[in-house]
Amino acid sequence: MLRSPILWKLFATYVALGAVCLVGAGYATNRILVDSARREVEHGLIERARALAPTLERDVIGDSPDLEARVRDLARTIGDRITVIRADGTVIAESDRDLFEVGNHSNRPEFIAAMRGTPDTAMRHSATVGRDLLYAAVPIGAAIPPLAVLRLALPLEIVSSNAAHIRDVLLWAGSLGLLAAVVLGFVVARRLTRPLAEMTEVARRYTVGDLASRVRASSRDEIGELGRALDLMGEELERKIQTVERDREETRALLSAMIEGVIAVDGDERIILVNAAAREIFPLGGTPPEGRSLTDAIRNEPVLRAVTATLRERRSHAFEVTLLDGSGRVLEAQATPIGGARGGCVVVFHDISRLRRLEDVRRDFVANVSHELRTPLTSVMGYVETLLAGGMVDGETSRTFLRKIASNAERLHALITDLLSLSRLESQAEPYRLAPVRVNAVVEKSLGSFRDRIAAKSMTLEVLGERDDVLALADEGGLRQVVDNLLDNAIKYTPDGGRITVEIGGDERNVTLAVKDTGVGIPAPDLPRIFERFYRVDRARSRELGGTGLGLAIVKHVVQALHGTIEVASEPGRGSRFVVTLPRASGASLPSNLPATQP
């Protein structure tokens, strides 16, 4: 505060103004007082001369020889030097003998005035006494011109000493006045500049982000107004910044919630923003990417090329990026200009890897389906052609051919049925309406349809676990399809004399259904793939056994649609175990029309 230049400027102005006023006033007062003192002395001298003149009139008229002595007496009494000058200018009496001037006085101005009847004064340097003297001359007698003139003389020092005294007093008063001006000037300047200093401090705090500071000025003058305006500005600024911050938070939350990667750059290709999804696509290291050059942060040619082109041409560019990080991910991207002519651009990345994979799967599926359908169809056509070309001559051969045709037609039928099942499952988001289903009943029904095949292969069948009603939240038709496929595979891939075990169990929340066989088993590398469509461990064997390669794919789809899971454990040569887990239904919701458990 004390270093405030404006304080010192105001203070210096006050002091200078005070000093100028004091000097001016002092000078004028000095002049007035000195002039009046001199006039008083002059007036006194004339008055004294006027009083003396009549007392000398007789001596002058009579040309008395005592004139000289009288003059000296009077001079001693009044203390002034007295000179009597005749009308012709000759000095006829002089109180101070040593100064007796013989010369003619007729040219002295005070003498000339007195000779005209007007008492007058004059100031002159006296060569006789070597000092400045004040003279006052009055006519002696009433006649004009008078007979003689009486002149009194007074050393001028008396006047000067009066003046010096006045000057001293004024100097003292001036000095005190100046001191008062200095003190008052400082106090007033400080009072005026303190609110300004406070405002400067508040404004400085605003610049460093402390927007809660307030001046709280109480004065009603312009400075108070300025303080209140500054407070209002602070409040407004605080409110605006809060709004901007909130908007920014919302945008940030929005961007980080997006599954699309977003990168924004400015006109110089410096990164403004990278959202979480984009960070996951392009690892940017530990340092915050904001402010870094895009070329340094992302070493991906297509991205850099598209950004440069977008900034240069100010139009959107759509492009595709394949990541070279080993993941093989494919991204569809679009760079769009933002801001004005010198603005930047925003690039949005959309991961289309899954889409691409699905396209590949679909393509493979179509190829597989065509191939699977073509094989039995080609056989059918071959047999039919052979028969038409004369093969029907031999009845036994014809029968063999017809059986082959029938078996291939059956295969085609099985394939198409499975494909339709799959397509139905895939085309509906919720293909089943879930309700409590008696798992034991479904298993019993399914086993009933396989009993002949089991008996034909001399297999042992065992049903273990909870024999009572176990309720799963499922769909009866779907569950039947699952059990049928698992039992069909167990029978197909287990040699004659093997054992099949069906086990029903679970806990409070889930129901488990396990189908176990002592068959050929599945090698470990094939295990993760057996649920894929058309995947078969041994293609020839599957085909020979009438398999379509779609059974387990259908099982997996159905189980997923029933909100369950399926797991498999297998050991080649020893057998396999498929376990289906489904949510358990609460007994209270058991409908009365459920199929009864078979004994």
What single-letter amino acid sits at 92? I
The answer to whether residue 522 forms part of the interface with ligand ADP (CB under 6 A) is yes
3-state secondary structure 387-420: HHCCHHHCHHHHHHHHHHHHHHHHHHHHHHHHHH
For residues 581 and 470, is the Cβ–Cβ distance under 8 A? Answer: no
Number of residues that bind ligand ADP (CB under 6 A): 22
Candidate list 152, 230, 412, 552; residue touching ligand ADP; CB under 6 A: 552
Q: Measured between alpha carbons, how far is 415 from 533 in angstroms, rounded to an integer?
A: 12
Edge-to-edge strand ranges of the sheet holding 330-337: 271-274, 261-265, 345-351, 330-337, 317-322
Binding segment for ligand ADP among 80-88, 98-106, 403-411, 533-541 (CB under 6 A)? 533-541
**DSSP designation for 347:** E
Pairing of strands 435-438, 91-94: unpaired
Long-range contacts of 535-540 (CB under 8 A, 24+ apart): none
Pairing of strands 499-506, 460-465: parallel
Candidate list 255, 517, 557, 566; residue touching ligand ADP; CB under 6 A: 517
The answer to whether residue 519 forms part of the interface with ligand ADP (CB under 6 A) is yes
Minimum gap (Å) between residue 263 Cβ and ligand ADP: 45
The answer to whether residue 439 forms part of the interface with ligand ADP (CB under 6 A) is no
For residues 516 and 570, is the Cβ–Cβ distance under 8 A? Answer: no
What Å distances lie between residue 57 and 30, 64, 87, 518, 555, CA to CA? 41, 10, 13, 179, 166
Candidate list 538, 565, 594, 597; residue touching ligand ADP; CB under 6 A: 538
Candidate list 83, 489, 512, 518; residue touching ligand ADP; CB under 6 A: 489
Q: Binding to ligand ADP (CB under 6 A): which residues in 559-588?
A: 576
Minimum gap (Å) between residue 422 Cβ and ligand ADP: 11
What Å distances lie between residue 477 and 177, 442, 498, CA to CA? 116, 9, 28
* Token output for 423: 């397509």
* Token output for 64: 């008395």
Candidate list 298, 447, 520, 562; residue touching ligand ADP; CB under 6 A: 520
The answer to whether residue 548 forms part of the interface with ligand ADP (CB under 6 A) is yes
Minimum gap (Å) between residue 413 Cβ and ligand ADP: 14
Minimum gap (Å) between residue 540 Cβ and ligand ADP: 10
In the complex with ligand ADP, the residue whose CB is nearer, 110 or 372, is 372
In the complex with ligand ADP, the residue whose CB is nearer, 230 or 522, is 522
Binding segment for ligand ADP among 35-43, 152-160, 304-312, 518-526 (CB under 6 A)? 518-526
Minimum gap (Å) between residue 479 Cβ and ligand ADP: 17
Binding segment for ligand ADP among 162-170, 222-230, 362-370, 485-493 (CB under 6 A)? 485-493
The answer to whether residue 530 forms part of the interface with ligand ADP (CB under 6 A) is yes
Contact residues for ligand ADP, defined by CB under 6 A: 489-490, 493, 517, 519-522, 530, 535-538, 542, 547-553, 576
